[in-house]
Amino acid sequence: MITVVVPTYNEEKNIELCLRALAKQTIPRDSYEIIVVDGASKDKTTEIAAKYADRVIQQVSHGVGGARNDGAMAARGEIVATTDADCLPDENWLSTILEDFSDEGIVAVTGYLDPMIPEDMERFEAGTYRYAFKVANGLRKAGSLVGYHHLCGANTAFRREAFLQVKGYSDLAYSDDVEIGKRLKEHGKMAMDDRIQVDYSIRRIQKLGIAKYTWMVLKNDFNVIILGEKPTRGDYAKQEYK
């Protein structure tokens, strides 16, 4: 069995579309479970999630990484896949993940992110986002080939045993999805598969601005991957959006 973990916080506008996409996977519905881990939402997130998810649990650990850890602890599946409540996984998402894990040496796989462009976005700005994501996917792919794995929480799957052995995500202010890759190296292989596709909301990037967001990610990932920092100041969890 495979378990899908979806962290949520005030996601009543997005969670239904995400869970519908998960319900329409090409593998039988009884071969996977969906666990929504809610961070004390104040809207109808949990009410909506309960219509689709096998379980809705309340988060007890800190941060988005902590929510994924809570989900993994509760999971029944040998494989744990993670995505975000504002993302739309491709219909072949889980089947491709399972195909990759047929290699018993694999402990984690990640995939590509495609930007979800608002219909009213100006053409030039939309093109900028598409190009930026193409470059970002390429950089993540190149990094994976030389041993630097960015295991994006919106589109990654782990072998549960290995994930628990490294105690899951660390409680970091940022870049926890690259830091966990450093610890998983000792437990097996990791790979980036461009067939594992997720449509990714750009609202976080829009809120900060694409230039500032790109610089922040590059700087933070460099600090964690190359310098070995483990930042504790700051928090990207429980953001509010218009």
Report pLDDT for 161. 96
Q: Helix H segments across the chain?
A: 15-23, 45-49, 63-74, 93-100, 123-145, 160-165, 176-184, 203-208, 210-225
* DSSP summary character for residue 90: -
pLDDT tops 80 at residue 214: no
Report pLDDT for 1. 92
pLDDT tops 70 at residue 238: no
User: Tens digits of per-residue pLDDT, 120-167?
Assistant: 899 999 999 999 999 999 988 998 888 888 899 999 999 999 999 999
Domain map of the chain by residue range?
2-225
> Residue 209 — very low, low, confident or very high, per pLDDT cuts 50/70/90?
confident
Which two structure tokens, joined as six digits, stand for 102? 């047929």
Report pLDDT for 60. 95
Report field, pTM of the whole predicted structure over 0.85: yes
Q: Which of 111, 148, 156, 107 is nearest to 133 (CA)?
A: 111
Q: Is CATH 3.40.50.300 correct for 2-225?
A: no
